[in-house]
């Protein structure tokens, strides 16, 4: 009975200590994220020091994003994926974030197949984020898997109908499959949303030229 009373009395202190540690780590991560934007080398060195004191998830995340900022995309993406699937007590939202960031890093590093894998894992955890569908679509288009890309862009636009980037990507996919009416319709809608977007204006020229050449055949 005495032991139970003693443990019960210690519990609030243990909880307070744990909360203090969590707050300190969150603050350290905030500082790391700021440094990644302005001084990535310093952020990377800080992450190594943090890791030496314990291989905790936030330290590993700091290290991964610092690597991305240093253009070491393959290393950073691999570490984000490993962190997303680690047995540590990591929040679901954080796992989704790590996978989405890994997918974008793979895509930026010209590894679209790896991006598809990471983003597909993210979509297993969350199918309500239009950006993940859009990012996977971009990876599909990079490997000329046009129909799968269109499917993902349909999903992205169902969730966020006014996304000019998704519309222009879908127009590109339709153009590649010679579905010119659909390509033109998506391009015109995207242009109505962002009339001065250079990429969409170039796309308009590409579609018009493809239509012109098709009429010559």
The model's pTM is 0.88
Residues in the chain: 217
Report how far residue 177's alpha carbon sits from residue 144's, in angstroms, rounded to the nearest whole number: 10
Q: Are 193 and 162 in contact (CB under 8 A)?
A: yes
Full pLDDT tens readout for the chain, 217 residues: 544 443 455 556 556 767 877 898 999 999 999 999 999 999 999 999 999 998 899 999 999 999 999 999 999 999 999 999 999 999 999 999 999 999 999 999 999 999 999 999 999 999 999 999 999 999 999 999 999 999 999 999 999 999 999 999 999 999 999 999 999 999 999 999 999 999 999 999 999 999 999 999 7
Rounded Cα distance between 188 and 3, Å, is 74
Q: 3-state DSSP call for residue 167?
A: helix
Distance CA 209, CA 137 (A): 24
- Domain coordinates of the chain in residue numbers? 144-217
The pair of three-digit structure tokens given for residue 71, joined into one six-digit string:
């253009």
Using the CB atoms, write b or e for 73-91: b if 16+ within 10 Å.
Answer: beebbbbbbebbeeeeebe
CATH ID of 144-217, from 3.40.50.980, 1.25.40.10, 3.40.50.9100, 3.90.180.10: 1.25.40.10
């Amino acid at each position: 009975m005495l032991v139970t009373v003693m443990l019960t009395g210690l519990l609030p202190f243990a909880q307070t200590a744990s909360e203090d540690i969590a707050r300190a780590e969150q603050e350290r991560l905030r500082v790391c994220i700021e440094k990644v934007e302005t001084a990535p080398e310093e952020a990377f060195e800080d992450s190594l020091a943090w890791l030496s004191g314990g291989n905790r998830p936030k330290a590993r995340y700091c290290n991964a994003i610092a690597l991305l900022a240093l253009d070491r995309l393959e290393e950073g993406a691999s570490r984000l994926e490993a962190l997303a699937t680690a047995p540590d007590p990591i929040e679901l939202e954080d796992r989704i974030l790590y996978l989405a960031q890994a997918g974008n890093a793979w895509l930026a590093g010209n590894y679209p197949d790896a991006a598809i894998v990471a983003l597909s894992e993210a979509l297993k955890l969350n199918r309500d984020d239009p950006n993940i569908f859009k990012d996977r679509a971009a990876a599909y288009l990079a490997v000329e898997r046009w129909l799968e890309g269109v499917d993902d862009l349909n999903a992205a636009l169902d969730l966020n109908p006014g996304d000019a980037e998704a519309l222009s990507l879908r127009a590109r996919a339709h153009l590649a499959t010679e579905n010119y009416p659909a390509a033109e319709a998506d391009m015109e809608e995207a242009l109505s949303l962002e009339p001065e977007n250079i990429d969409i204006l170039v796309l308009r020229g590409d579609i018009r030229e493809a239509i012109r050449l098709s009429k010559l055949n």
